[in-house]
Structure formats: C-alpha cells, structure tokens
Structure 1
C-alpha cells in the first residue's frame, strides 16, 4: 500500500481552504421568491377581499388585512428584502412567527410605514424599539435587513436582533425575555384596505 506524506504547510493550507469554502457555503444568500409566482407562500386571513399577486417581478399586497407567509420556518438568520409602501400605507416584515394563519400579534415585526397615521415608522421593531423619524419616503424602494441570532451576554441568553435600512445599522436589540424564542415563519403584512405594499428580492442566510 502506497502512502503519501503531505508537508505540514500544505496540510495547513488545505485546512484553511476547506474552512473558507465551508464558511462561504454557510453564508450563501438563498432566494425565497422566484420573481414570477407565489409558489410555496401561504396567505393567512383576509379571505376573498385581500389580494397578493406578482406583477412586474414584485409581490404586491392590497385589500383587506392579511398576511403572506414564507414556505418554511427559520430561527437564526440574516434576512433581507426590497420593499416599497404607498403614501399613508402600513405594512410589516414579520419573523419567528409561530403560525401561518394570519395573526398580526404573532412574531417580531419590523415596521414598514412612512406616512401612516400610526407614527411608528420604518426601522422600528414594533412593541420593542420605536423609530418616529421618517427614514424612507413613501413610494420609494428600500432594502430592509434583519439579523436574528440567539446569543448569551453576561450569562443571560436572548435573541439578538439587528435592524438595517439601506445598509445602515439602526440598532441591535437584545430580547432577554425571549419573546419569540423558537423558529418561525417570515411574513409580510397587508395592514388595511388603504395600504399597498410591494416586495422583491427576498433572500435569507441561515445561521448556526
């Protein structure tokens, strides 16, 4: 039997290369929207008076209050989407939602709101951290990015949630109450008949 001895430097280089490849694979962005259909997504609530449709490569929500849920659940992740809300419109980007039945109060909500009568604006983590400044004008595309990872800080476990708008980090919120501690669905909210939300380029990175 022939055996081959590898120089230590070569073995180290191989290990580094394999580690880098594994890290790159782990950090790959996966698209959740094919730009043509709502395949795999589920509408919760609203009945026949709500509408979720794909037009010109984007998802559009209108009509009666409802939710649009992702095909599967996620716990630790980076998540991003390009979003646009109409003038006086209201929506939300939900995550760790334990249900896909159309309940507004289940899961964390990253607010989508530029000029609605509700003064809690885009960039807010609804019920936890509120932003009252208008960061994005209505009818304007922007990139929303959420990172949610379970960590331990000074011996206390919690969900560490980072919110970014157009690449700018607004804050990191540490939820030591573990309000939504399990994995859950992503969802988009259709808040009311006067709201019209558009979404495109929905992507996720699952994290350990």
Structure 2
C-alpha cells in the first residue's frame, strides 16, 4: 500500500511540472582565436590571425572582406574591435558578393571608424548612402586607440546597435531589401585601415521562432 501511495504521489508530482519554455538561442563562437575556420577571404586584402585576434590590413587599392561561410537572417552579434590606424571599416550584414570579386551586390554596413563624428554604429549601404546614424552626443563613446565592444541585433526589419554598452540606433527599416546573407568584416578601399577583431559571438534568432536559418 505504501509503495502504491508513493508511486501515485510521484506520478502526480511529475504531471504537475509545467512544460518548459523553449530555450533561448545559445551564443555560438564565430572565431576560435587560432585560425580562420568558418571564414572566407573576399578580395586581396590581408587577413590573418595574430595574438588571438583577426588582423586585417589594407594592402591594395581595393575593398577587402572577411566573410562568414554561413548566411544569417535574424541574429544577435557581438564582437570586439580595435582600429590600429585611421580609416573606415565596418561589419556588413545580409551580404552577397559578385562571384569572383569583392563587389557587394546586396547588403548594408554597420559603420566602424575610430574618429568621433564618423557615425560608428550607424547603417550605410543598399545604394542609398547613409540610412541612419547615431545622435552626435552618443558618438563620443568610441575608444579611438583601444578595444571597443560592438553589438548588432537584427530582428526582421528592426536594427539595434550598441557601442561600449550604449545604444547607438534602434531603427525600423521600411524597405530593407535583402533580409539574409553573409556577415562580413570590411576593409575600405585605398589601402586604408589596420583592424583587429576578436571575441565574435552570435545567436541565431531565426531558431527562436522555429524558423530555419538562412542556410538551411
């Protein structure tokens, strides 16, 4: 009888446990700190791993990119960057390139520039030039000669960026065009820039709603 009661109580306890909510997407590392596994060089600029970071250097007059091998739709991306010279850089999202070239045929850039007032955290591209940029009083958070923390969240047509913990933009894009594609680190044309990137992590938010990622 005692065994029957114990079994009944155990079954009731199990049935009373509520169903768990689906787990939030986990952070995944995009850079292992040792080599460029998972990345592809686009163009002829220099991309190597040095001292645990991705190092990019403009050595030609062309644009250069280091792109993920996987495409993404909705995501939350965080990374650290350091500008070791003057010049423009950025993180391209929802990107595609003309085969065999470094010509961007779709996508937009989250700006990186160590100069205050050059709109780091803003969005540029889609053949439109500047789409949105941060308020001037926010741009002083850039650390010109040190590591900076950048976070980019894309959820449908809503774009949110943070620089060093400060929200730079929260923008709903009425006509984003491309909504999936590669993520690419950029070096500007003209031989500009020496950049370092590290601690690159992503959450694939497409999986949050049970949707396939862009490459599935």
Tell me which residue corresponds to 1:55.
Answer: 50
C-alpha displacement of 1:14: 4.4
Map 1:20-39 onto structure 2 (within 5 A): 22-23=22-23, 26-39=24-37
Equivalent residues of 1:122, 1:135 under 8 A apart:
no
TM-score norm. by structure 2 comes to 0.77
Q: Which structure's CA Rg is the greater one?
A: 2
Question: Secondary structure at the residue paired with 1:68?
Answer: strand
Q: Which consecutive residues of structure 1, in runs of 5 or more, have no partner in the other structure?
A: 151-158
Tell me which residue corresponds to 1:189.
Answer: 186
Summarize deviations over 1:56-114 as a string: whole Å, max 9, x none. 00001002330110120000110111111134221001111133742356312110002
**For the residues of structure 2 that align with 1:176 and 1:12, how far apart are their CA atoms?**
45
Equivalent residues of 2:41, 2:67 under 8 A apart:
yes
Summarize deviations over 1:110-159 as a string: whole Å, max 9, x none. 1000229xx53212112211235343132211111111011xxxxxxxx1
C-alpha displacement of 1:161: 0.6
Aligned length: 186
Q: Which consecutive residues of structure 2, in runs of 5 or more, have no partner in the other structure?
A: 1-6, 125-129, 207-216
C-alpha displacement of 1:12: 4.3
Tell me which residue corresponds to 1:154.
Answer: none
**For the residues of structure 1 that align with 2:146 and 2:119, how far apart are their CA atoms?**
14
Q: Of the candidates 201, 204, 208, which is equivalent to residue 202 of structure 2?
A: 204
**For the residues of structure 2 that align with 1:103 and 1:134, how far apart are their CA atoms?**
32
Equivalent residues of 2:123, 2:131 under 8 A apart:
yes
**For the residues of structure 1 that align with 2:204 and 2:133, how far apart are their CA atoms?**
26
Q: Of the candidates 4, 11, 26, which is equivalent to residue 6 of structure 1?
A: 11
**For the residues of structure 2 that align with 1:74 and 1:52, how far apart are their CA atoms?**
22
Q: Runs ≥4 in structure 1, deviation > 3 angstroms?
A: 3-6, 131-134
TM-score norm. by structure 1 comes to 0.80
Equivalent residues of 1:95, 1:108 under 8 A apart:
yes
**For the residues of structure 2 that align with 1:146 and 1:40, how far apart are their CA atoms?**
19
